[in-house]
């Protein structure tokens, strides 16, 4: 998370022949570029990007940011307890802004506002309270909260006066209530700012019926300049292109079938399966945690705590082995469909 003004690089996976291409996302990129065009023309625009874990939301935003000109402000929400860390994404981006501009530079952005100091922002970043005459104000009353919201809005407004600003909040499904309120305030106030695009990502598979993000999404959906973009699983053809970009050669039909069936079109899982003899520990833990969060009728009884085993060799050289465990976990996690998840494949052997 942070401020980026140069070209962003995509995530890497060890063991691949080449870096993975971003495939199957032309439509989503076009939506983002369309929203950016509106902002350049002086109109407000917010894009909400939803999709399951590993589907490529961050990669999509990184690619979009790499192509865009302007200041990129990025803050991520953290999974910490029931209600997360207060204002976590805004604290992160303010910390990086302070690193680039310094407290005096931030104070200068607030200049011209009667009585404005960095005291309100010190609630997010205590370092800003070090400026002379800016002791942190009380943080328990509605007045200080309103002052904080207005100062964040003013900071973005003055940054946008200097050039295009893209504000990205990642993993909004983990946002605390204070961050949700501030984000909603900024989206609703966008008409007062020229040159600001807001992008929010969230895991759609995390939004259970009582998730606090659900009513917020329904609320902002009614705002004319807000649009939703769904990042869907890759098609079979897109998965083939992804695997080829990783291994350096087109996969055989058998290898492609196994990778696609086991990954469910999820790029993160497809990348791991295409270049690793075993499902990496981090992904296996992600799958296990995801399946355990599913309703009983969706997750069924999967042996997800056991050791998955899979080998997918580049371009079909060697063999593809599957004990069915990771296939079950991926399918259950990615779709929550018991019928698909319990289709446990037998071992498959292919050779070039």
Note whether 68 and 159 are same-domain residues. yes
Structure tokens at 282: 């981090």
The set of residues, in sequence order, having a beta carbon less than 8 Å from that of 307 and lying 6+ positions away, is 325
Range of the domain at 107: 2-230
Structure tokens at 20: 């993975």
Indicate whether 63 pLDDT > 90: yes
Note whether 248 and 284 are same-domain residues. yes
C-alpha to C-alpha distance for 242 and 21, rounded to whole angstroms: 6
Phi–psi pair at 169, nearest 5 degrees: -110, 115
Q: In this predicted model, what pLDDT tens digit does every residue of 200-252 receive, in sequence order?
A: 999 998 898 899 999 999 999 899 999 999 999 999 999 999 999 988 899 99
CA distances to 134, 281, 295 from 306, in Å: 56, 12, 20
pLDDT at 345: 35
Indicate whether 284 pLDDT > 70: no
Note whether 312 and 187 are same-domain residues. no
**Percent of the chain residues topping a pLDDT of 70:** 66
Average pLDDT over residues 105-126: 77
Indicate whether 297 pLDDT > 50: no
pLDDT, greater one: 146 or 129: 146
Q: How many domains does the chain have?
A: 2
pLDDT band at 12 (very low <50, low <70, confident <90, very high): very low
pLDDT, greater one: 170 or 299: 170
Note whether 226 and 80 are same-domain residues. yes
Name the residue among 282, 323, 320 with its Cα closest to residue 302.
323
Give the torsion through C-alpha atoms of 140, 143, 148, 152, to 10 deg.
Answer: 150
Note whether 158 and 245 are same-domain residues. no
Q: What is the residue-wise DSSP string for 119-154?
A: TTGGGT-GGGGGSTT-----SSSHHHHHHHHHHHHH
Q: Are 275 and 263 in contact (CB under 8 A)?
A: no
Q: Are 17 and 28 in contact (CB under 8 A)?
A: no
pLDDT at 307: 43
Please state, rounded to an integer, the average pLDDT across all residues of the chain. 76
C-alpha to C-alpha distance for 279 and 268, rounded to whole angstroms: 11
Q: Which of 175, 204, 230 is the last residue of a domain?
A: 230
| Backbone region of residue 302 per phi and psi (left: phi > 0; alpha: psi in -120 to 50; beta: other values) | beta
Which of 17-26, 34-43, 269-278, 332-341 is predicted with the least confidence, judged by mean pLDDT? 332-341
Q: Which of 230, 252, 279 is the last residue of a domain?
A: 230
Q: Are 231 and 51 in contact (CB under 8 A)?
A: yes
pLDDT at 346: 30
Note whether 118 and 196 are same-domain residues. yes
Give whichever of 1-15, 29-43, 273-287 has the largest mean pLDDT: 29-43
Count each helix (H run) and each strand (E run) in the chain, helices first: 13, 8
């Amino acid at each position: 998370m942070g401020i980026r003004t140069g070209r962003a690089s995509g995530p890497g996976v060890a063991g691949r022949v080449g870096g993975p291409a971003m495939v199957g996302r032309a439509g989503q990129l076009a939506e983002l570029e369309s929203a950016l065009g509106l902002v350049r023309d002086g109109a407000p625009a917010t894009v909400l990007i939803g999709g399951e874990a590993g589907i490529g939301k961050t990669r999509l935003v990184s690619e979009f940011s790499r192509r865009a000109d302007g200041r990129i402000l990025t803050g991520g929400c953290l999974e910490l307890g029931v209600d997360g860390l207060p204002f976590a994404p805004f604290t992160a981006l303010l910390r990086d802004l302070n690193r680039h501009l310094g407290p005096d530079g931030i104070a200068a952005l607030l200049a011209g506002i009667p009585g404005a100091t960095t005291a309100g922002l010190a609630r997010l970043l205590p370092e800003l309270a070090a400026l002379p005459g800016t002791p942190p104000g009380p943080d328990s009353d509605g007045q200080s909260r309103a002052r904080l919201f207005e100062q964040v809005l003013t900071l973005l407004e003055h940054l946008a006066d200097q050039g295009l600003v893209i504000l990205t909040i990642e993993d909004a499904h983990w946002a605390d209530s204070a961050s949700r309120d501030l984000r909603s305030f900024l989206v609703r106030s966008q008409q007062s700012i020229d040159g600001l695009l807001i992008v929010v990502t969230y895991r759609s598979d995390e939004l259970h019926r009582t998730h606090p993000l659900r009513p917020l999404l329904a609320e902002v959906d009614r705002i004319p300049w807000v649009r939703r973009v769904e990042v869907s699983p890759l098609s079979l053809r897109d998965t083939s292109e992804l695997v080829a970009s990783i291994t350096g050669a087109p996969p055989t039909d058998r290898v492609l079938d196994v990778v696609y069936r086991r990954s469910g079109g999820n790029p993160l899982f497809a990348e791991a399966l295409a270049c690793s003899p075993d499902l990496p520990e981090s992904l296996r833990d992600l799958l296990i945690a995801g399946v355990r969060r599913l309703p009983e009728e969706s997750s069924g009884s999967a042996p997800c705590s056991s050791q998955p085993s899979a080998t997918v060799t580049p371009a079909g050289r060697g063999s593809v082995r599957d004990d069915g465990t990771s296939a079950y976990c991926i399918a259950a996690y990615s779709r929550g469909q018991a019928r698909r998840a319990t289709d446990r494949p037998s071992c498959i052997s292919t050779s070039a």
